[in-house]
Amino acid sequence: MLDIAQPTRQSKLSILLYFFKGVKGLVAFAFFALFSMRSWTNSMAIVAVSLLVTLVTLVSPVLQYVFFTFHVENDELIIQKGWLFKERKSIPVERIQSINITQNVGQRILGIVAVEIDTAGSKAKELEIPGLNRHFAEQLKSLLGKKKSQAVSYTSTEDNDVTATAQEVPVAQKSTSRTVFQLNIIDLLKVGVTQNHLRSGGLALGVVIGFWYKIKDAVESFYGNIFESVEVDVEQVVKAPEALGNRVLVFIGIGLLAFLIVSVLVSIVMAVNKFYDYKMELKDDYLEITMGLFNKKEIKIPLSKIQILEFHSNPLRKLLDFKTARIYQAQSQNKNESNVEVPACHNALQRELQQLIFKKTIEKPQKELLPNPWSHARLDMYITSLFGLPLIAVASYFEYYWAVLIPVLFIIFIGFMGYKYGRKSKVIRDDDFIVFYKGWLFNSVIVSPVYKTQAVEKWRSIFIKRRGEAHLQVHTAGGTRQLKYLKEGEINSMQNDINNIVMRSELSWM
């Protein structure tokens, strides 16, 4: 049995981990120093500074290791760190929502893991112990889990004395484990191919643009002005486009093709890195998910903590007949690491997940709220007009009347998409679930049990008051979901119904 009653340090390997982190900064500094070494006097100072920085990089990991301790005291997990700026974080064990074991490349090389402790308080800081050996980490995880269940059952017995004698903490639970889903290589590639390529393409483009000048500088300093010729070409094109003629079109075509290929490649690489060796297991009452090629991730989600289940799709995925499922659990703000994606979720798996997590299936809806598609179209068109109208003005000022057509068509297209979005969206409620259906081409289904709702909000701007419309927001501990432009009267009755169910519910919701 693990004993962490006294302040305990991490694995000694964590010094190396801190060192790796420091080295990243050192490399950046070395580049800076190298480039700024122009004159001799200058370089003396820089050498001195470099020595200092190197020293700090070497010493600080040891200090970080020495001053990072953690222990459990009076059912509180306490983490202390820092030498000059001391920091002490403590968290009551029963407040721990989930304990995740993660491993990034650096940790993987060293053979150590990080333990992340998530709480659901809206202000609590997150806790991470970055360098433990795996065996220790797993023991810590199970120890904290055990302490937590003891603390929880203790408080519950305290509340009602009648059952106090009857309740016994189960000492040895039988552990069952069943693989729910495992991603094979073919499906992994399918997932990669059906990612949102525009997003990955944009990401790649962003990286290239962001580093363009640095890349250029670096290459030029070694090979001279090899970019000069390209720049001349570009200037010529701008000055006399006719002279080049077809070459411009060919150039644009090649550019687009390259962008497409790069986007797809980036998507596939990202998907493989993220979802490699994906496995979801059901153990007792929690799901354990492992995935990742370079950054291995291991996430544990107690079934009772799951608040929202979402199924996303896109046109490419519809062809292959699978969706992406997302599982949201109760957690603190801005922390998305413990939300889980399930790639390549077929219809059978969708039903299974829902059955597994929420124990019930969606029945025939009692209530169905439909948004006004025209309102969606209208808002989208207003927003596009903000950019479109100036373009139209510019085009007509220069008397390119045919060019007016482009923004006009674009605005109409956006309006059409908005209308379709409104037509395909709805909120339904049956006895057990609130279900949002949202979107047309990139549609999603959002399922949340009614009793897990924390608050229901209705809001509207003054401009749609006249139309008798409002927006419905459902807040849960796992996040907020909303659908806009519903009938106000219908929202009112939905709000009252949900409230009445939540108030009476005695089920554990978090």
Partner 1 sequence: MTNEQILSQSLPVIEQSEFEKHPKRFLNKKLIAKFVFFAPLLIGIVVLFIYTEQWMGWSALAAWFVLLLASLFVSYKEFFVRGYVLREFDITYRHGWLFHHQITIPFNRIQHTEINHGPIDRFFSLCELEIYTAGGSASDLSISGLDPQDATAIKEFISEKTAQHA
* Residue from the set 180, 264, 403, 502 that interacts with partner 1 by CB under 8 A: 502
Considering only CA atoms, give the Rg of the chain. 29
Question: 411 vs 472, which CB is nearer to partner 1?
Answer: 472
Instruction: Report yes or no: 474 and 452 within 8 Å, Cβ to Cβ.
Output: no
Q: How far apart are CA 227 and CA 205, in angstroms?
A: 19
The CB-of-90 to partner 1 minimum distance in angstroms stands at 17
The CB-of-304 to partner 1 minimum distance in angstroms stands at 13
Q: What is the footprint of partner 1 within residues 395-434 (CB under 8 A)?
A: none
- DSSP annotation of 477 reads T
* Residue from the set 37, 265, 404, 510 that interacts with partner 1 by CB under 8 A: 510
Question: 244 vs 510, which CB is nearer to partner 1?
Answer: 510
| 445 CB neighbour count, 10 Å cutoff | 19
Instruction: Show Cβ contacts of residue 262 under 8 Å, excluding neighbours closer than 6 positions.
Output: 201, 204
Site string for partner 1, 270-309 (x = CB under 8 A): -------------------------------------x--
Question: 147 vs 458, which CB is nearer to partner 1?
Answer: 458
In the numeric block, which tokens belong to residue 487? Answer: 């009938």
- Give 297: exposed, middle or buried? Use CB within 10 Å, 0-12, 13-18, 19+: middle
Instruction: Report yes or no: 323 and 312 within 8 Å, Cβ to Cβ.
Output: yes
The CB-of-94 to partner 1 minimum distance in angstroms stands at 11
Question: 173 vs 480, which CB is nearer to partner 1?
Answer: 480
Question: 233 vs 363, which CB is nearer to partner 1?
Answer: 363
* Residue from the set 20, 276, 440, 509 that interacts with partner 1 by CB under 8 A: 509
Question: 137 vs 299, which CB is nearer to partner 1?
Answer: 299
- DSSP annotation of 125 reads P
| 240 SS3 class | coil
The CB-of-505 to partner 1 minimum distance in angstroms stands at 8
Instruction: Report yes or no: 45 and 39 within 8 Å, Cβ to Cβ.
Output: no
| 278 SS3 class | coil
Question: 46 vs 502, which CB is nearer to partner 1?
Answer: 502
The CB-of-502 to partner 1 minimum distance in angstroms stands at 5
The CB-of-159 to partner 1 minimum distance in angstroms stands at 8
Instruction: Report yes or no: 415 and 407 within 8 Å, Cβ to Cβ.
Output: no
Q: How far apart are CA 128 and CA 390, in angstroms?
A: 50
Indicate the residue type of 239. K
Q: How far apart are CA 215 and CA 203, in angstroms?
A: 17
Instruction: Report yes or no: 140 and 19 within 8 Å, Cβ to Cβ.
Output: no
Q: What is the footprint of partner 1 within residues 311-330 (CB under 8 A)?
A: 330
Q: What is the footprint of partner 1 within residues 437-496 (CB under 8 A)?
A: 453-462, 465, 473, 475-480, 492-493, 495-496
Number of residues that bind partner 1 (CB under 8 A): 40
Q: What is the footprint of partner 1 within residues 117-136 (CB under 8 A)?
A: 120-122
Question: 99 vs 114, which CB is nearer to partner 1?
Answer: 99
Q: How far apart are CA 9 and CA 487, in angstroms?
A: 59
* Residue from the set 333, 347, 361, 396 that interacts with partner 1 by CB under 8 A: 333
Indicate the residue type of 93. V
Instruction: Report yes or no: 4 and 78 within 8 Å, Cβ to Cβ.
Output: no
Question: 139 vs 153, which CB is nearer to partner 1?
Answer: 153
9 binds partner 1 (CB under 8 A): no
The CB-of-453 to partner 1 minimum distance in angstroms stands at 8
| 325 CB neighbour count, 10 Å cutoff | 24
Residue whose C-alpha is closest to residue 100's, from 121, 129, 80, 71: 129
Q: What is the footprint of partner 1 within residues 42-61 (CB under 8 A)?
A: none
Helix axes 40-67 and 13-36, enclosed angle (nearest 10): 160
Q: How far apart are CA 480 and CA 490, in angstroms?
A: 19
Question: 122 vs 246, which CB is nearer to partner 1?
Answer: 122
The CB-of-452 to partner 1 minimum distance in angstroms stands at 9
Q: Is the dihedral of CA 192, 198, 200, 201 positive or negative?
A: positive
The CB-of-330 to partner 1 minimum distance in angstroms stands at 6
Site string for partner 1, 144-163 (x = CB under 8 A): ---------------x----
Q: How far apart are CA 479 and CA 491, in angstroms?
A: 19
Question: 414 vs 472, which CB is nearer to partner 1?
Answer: 472
* Residue from the set 332, 339, 408, 487 that interacts with partner 1 by CB under 8 A: 332
Q: Candidates 73-81, 247-255, 404-412, 502-510: pick the segment binding partner 1 (CB under 8 A).
A: 502-510
One-letter-per-residue 3-state SS of 196-216: CHHHHHHHHHHHHHHHHHHHH
Indicate the residue type of 490. E
367 binds partner 1 (CB under 8 A): no
The CB-of-492 to partner 1 minimum distance in angstroms stands at 6
Question: 239 vs 364, which CB is nearer to partner 1?
Answer: 364
Residues within the interface to partner 1 (CB under 8 A): 120-122, 159, 307, 330-334, 453-462, 465, 473, 475-480, 492-493, 495-497, 499-500, 502-503, 505, 509-510
